[in-house]
Amino acid sequence: MKLEMKDSPGQLVAAIKPISEVGGNIIAVIHQREPDAKEDTLNVQIVLELPEGLLERLITLLKEQGVHIQRINEERLLFRRTVILIGHLMHTDLSDTVDQIDSTGFAEVSELSMSMPAVQERSTSRITIKALSKPDMEAALAILRRVSRQKSLLLIEPLEEIA
């Protein structure tokens, strides 16, 4: 959230208290007072986690405190799974494998790390996928399973799910 409030003592607390009241978890607060600013307002960015369904209540509480909300960005892809792929990843076009997930519009590869011991040996890649919902994640993993079979890659999936 990017917030604008009066530049006076106690205003930052007025913005943070409603977040606490709705059960939010503050991850970061970015606030820098400009010494030569002529305005009596202050811009603050707050990164937070909020229980589902409580955003409207938080907005109401902030407005009641006189805090103006300039922008709210929500992370679109909330569900995350990390898998391991083993095989001749470069020879079977790893970018094509990633593109098949990224092109869905509901999931994307957000992290990729790779170990390549030698040209003729199998590579290992750790891939993190983010998706809009649990069903979308399952659809993305189904794509990865199909691609792995087609390209003779070993896919190792974790037993647990990370949301």
| Token representation of residue 54 | 């409580």
- List, for residues 38-50, the tens digit of each pLDDT value: 567 777 888 788 8
CATH code given to domain 79-156: 3.30.70.260
32: pLDDT strictly greater than 70: no
139: pLDDT strictly greater than 90: yes
Q: Where are the domains of the chain?
A: 2-71, 79-156
Mean pLDDT (the chain, rounded): 84
Question: Is residue 149 very low, low, confident or very high in pLDDT (cuts 50, 70, 90)?
Answer: very high
Measure Cα distances from 122 to 61, 75, 85, 114, 162 in Å: 56, 35, 10, 11, 27
Q: Which fold would CATH assign to domain 2-71?
A: Alpha-Beta Plaits (3.30.70)
Fold match between 2-71 and 79-156? yes
> 26: which strand partners?
48
33: pLDDT strictly greater than 70: no
